[in-house]
Amino acid sequence: MIQAIIFDLDGVLLSTDELHYAAWKSVADELGIPFDRQVNNRLRGVSRMASLEIILEHGGVVLSPEEKEAVATRKNDRYRSSLMTLTPDVVTPEVRNTLAALKQRGLKMAIGSSSKNTKLILERTDLKRYFDAVSDGTNITRSKPDPEVFLKGAAFLGLSPSVCAVVEDAVAGIDAANAGGFLSIGIGDAAGYARADKKIASLSELLTIL
């Protein structure tokens, strides 16, 4: 019996893909690394530093730890400025109505996101009020596919993973949910992933499958 749902943020409740893409593209251009949407897709659900490692490896560029820090900071500064353009309107009525209906049913709800910008995004989009707990990139040391972010989310809710579902759009996120003993629900990219326990085409389907 599912008592709580832990939602990934980017790609599940809203799309920040284009903003990440533009910020990574600008730093990749400066480094002379070819960067396209295919590479960007590989960054889904992956931490900022791990994303940079993927981009550097793709471009065959080697940087010192200090240089990596500087590039990651530059990317994040640009990304954060673009987050300032977010408004509550970027969250679709379907997403908002689904969250409200699940809450009404008495389900506990949490965020489980790798992003260290989660709280800013929740504030800008007025999503915070739906959630009982937020587990994000600021409270973990290991990135998805490690289950840490979801295990912390369940712990913040005071529940065991066996009674929590995780909704994810990233393959790494489904692997993390499975590794942590959660019911994994794939949406978007992850709806085509064989290891997802359940697959949904849109968020409102949660109301029928749970």
What positions carry a catalytic annotation?
8, 10
Other CB atoms within 10 A of residue 201 CB: 9
Strands 4-7 vs 108-112: parallel, antiparallel or unpaired = parallel
Q: Exactly one of 26, 119, 126, 137 binds ligand BG6 (CB under 6 A); which one? A: 137
Question: Which partner from the list Mg ion, ligand BG6, none does 113 bind, CB cut-off 5 to 8 Å by kind?
Answer: ligand BG6
- C-alpha 127: how far from chain center: 14
Smallest gap from residue 16 Cβ to ligand BG6 (A): 7
Asked if the bond preceding 65 is cis, omega within 30° of 0, the reply is no
Instruction: Choose the contact partner of 169 out of ligand BG6, Mg ion, none; CB within 5 to 8 A by kind.
Output: Mg ion
Residue 63 phi/psi, 5° resolution?
-125, 155
Q: Which stretch binds ligand BG6 (CB under 6 A): 39-47, 61-69, 122-130, 178-186?
A: 39-47
HEC states along 150-188?
HHHHHHHHCCCHHHEEEEECCHHHHHHHHHHCCEEEECH
Cβ proximity of 154 and 136 under 8 Å: no
- Binding test (CB under 6 A) with ligand BG6, winner from 12, 19, 20, 196: 20
Locus of tokens 């029928």: 208
8 binds Mg ion (CB under 5 A): yes
C-alpha distance across the termini of the chain, in Å: 9
Of Mg ion, ligand BG6, none, which one sits near residue 144, judging by CB under 5 to 8 A according to partner kind? none
Letters for 77-116 (x = contact with ligand BG6 by CB under 6 A, - = none) are ------------------------------------xxxx
What are 37's two structure tokens?
């949407």
Least spacing, CB of residue 141 vs ligand BG6, in Å: 14
For ligand BG6, how many residues bind (rule: CB under 6 A)? Answer: 17
Report yes or no: 21 and 37 within 8 Å, Cβ to Cβ.
yes
Which residues form the interface with Mg ion (CB under 5 A)? 8, 10-11, 45, 169-170
* Chain positions contacting ligand BG6, by CB under 6 A: 9-10, 20, 43-48, 51, 76, 113-117, 137
